[in-house]
Structures are given as C-alpha cells and as structure tokens.
Amino acid sequence: MLVTNVVYFDAPVTCACDMKCEKAWGLSTRPREQLSDDINDVVWLSDSELGEAPTDPGTYEGACAKPFHPKEHNKWCVRECERLALAKHGTQPELVDWSARVYNQPWKHGDGGNAV
C-alpha cells in the first residue's frame, strides 16, 4: 500500500492506494455496464473480468499521466485513479475492493456489495 499526504482543494488529506497500477484504468475509462436509464447507474467490472489496464488510458490531469511504479501520488492518481482513496489528513483511507464488481448506486441493486 502506498500512503501519501497531499493538499487537495486547499485542505490536507491522506491518500492511499493498493499500488496495482497495472490494473488502474481510471474512473472515466474503467469498463462498466449501464444498469438503467439513469446515466449514473453503472457497475464497474471487477479486476478478474478485465485484463491489465492500458499503460496510457488516454486521461491526464494537468501534465500528469498514469504512473507506472509510483513512489508518491501525482495529480492523475488523486483525481482519476479508481484505486486511490482519500481521507481526512492523518486517518487511514478505505480502499475499494476491486475483486468484485463496484456499483455507483448500490442501494438500487439489493445489497450492492462494493460502492465507490
């Protein structure tokens, strides 16, 4: 696990990720299924349903691209990576479990399992 402290929207936060960059697609490009007419009602596919993510998923934050083997988080990690979690400075962020599908609106789908 990689844990760093950054300033995000003028506030100090703690970031954590599982360092599985080879599985990081980015929230806007991770394959998903649409579940209803509601554009936000999606489920992102699990790691086991996907191969490795592209080294360059085509998304950038400022001049920052997806890193290969980070020693610290860059802007792409903080703003785009689905494997990164933010928490109040000094507390441990809770990572999403990508071994199962992740629902954007889990309350619409039974227990819904994982949620972002």
Look at 71 and 47; give whichever has higher pLDDT. 47
Start-end of H helices in 1-116 = 75-80
Question: What CA–CA distances, in Å, run from 55 to 31, 46, 49, 76, 79?
Answer: 15, 18, 18, 13, 17
Q: Taking 80 as the threshold, does the pLDDT of residue 116 lie above it?
A: no
Q: Tens of pLDDT along 68-102? A: 887 889 999 999 999 999 999 989 999 999 999 99
pLDDT in tens, 11-24: 999 999 999 999 99
